[in-house]
Structure 1
Amino acid sequence: MTINWLAFVQVFVAAFISAVVVVSFYALGLRLLVRAGRAPVVAPAEFTDAITVISEKEARRAEKAAAKAAKRSPLTDGQKRFALVGAYACFAVCAAAVLGGLLLIVFNH
């Protein structure tokens, strides 16, 4: 049995680059989403043990703080809209990268 090391390196480099692209664009999308005044607030989840979750009161407090921060944003409405469109574009790039990888796996095999 022989190992094609060049193919191994190609797959490693492709996986590394795609991981960097997806993580970077997702982080940028979240950052732009927050700048647009649409901070994602996640409701607390119920876990059986070993993980501490925030209470309903803490969740309401975080939601109120996010709304207050959005009100005092120095950005104009146009800038917020531009940031929101940029955030959605970043998420679209992430989705396209994942979908492209899946299509390569399914149809290139």
Structure 2
Amino acid sequence: MLINWEAFLQVFVAALLGASIVVTFYALGLRLLVRGGRPPLVAPAEFTDAITVLSDKQRRRHEKAVAKAAKKNPLGEGQKRLSLLGAYACFAVCAAAVIGALLLILFNH
């Protein structure tokens, strides 16, 4: 059994490069999203007849901290819009990379 080491190396480098690109653009998109004044907030999970992740007091404190941080943002409205546009573009690059990889897997015979 012979192993084609050149092909193995090509696949390894392509996978490493692809993963690095997706992670970099996703992180950059999150950073631009926060810079644009829209931090990704996930509401705490609440379950009926079970424990609540955050109390109402903790939730109010968190919302107050987010509002205070938003007021400290030195960017103008145009700069915020540009940051949000950049964030959405970064997320689009991530989605295109994932969809492209899936298409390569599905339709590459």
Q: Using structure 2 for the length normalisation, give the TM-score.
A: 0.85
Tell me which stretches of 4 or more aligned residues in structure 1 moved more than 4 Å.
Answer: none
Q: How many Å separate the matches in 1 of 2:59 and 2:79?
A: 28
Report the alpha carbon displacement of residue 68 of structure 1 after superposing the two structures with TM.
1.9
Counting matched residue pairs gives 104
Structure 2 equivalent of residue 55 of structure 1: 54
Once residues 2 and 28 of structure 1 are traced to their aligned partners in structure 2, the CA distance between those partners, rounded to angstroms, is 42
Give the C-alpha shift of residue 56 in structure 1.
3.5
Calculate percent identity across the aligned residue pairs.
70
Q: What residue is the counterpart of 1:4 in the other structure?
A: 4
Query: For the pair shown, which has the larger CA radius of gyration, 1 or 2?
Result: 2
Q: RMSD of the alignment, in Å?
A: 1.8
| Cα pair 2:37 2:80 within 8 Å, conserved | yes
AA partner of residue 55 (structure 1): L
Cα deviation per residue 1:40-59 (whole Å; 9 max; x = unaligned)?
11122369xxxxx8414434
Alignment of 1:34-53 (within 5 A): 34-45=34-45
Which position in structure 2 is the counterpart of 1:24? 24
TM-score by length of structure 1 reads 0.85
Q: Aligned partners of 1:67 and 1:41: how far apart in 2? A: 12
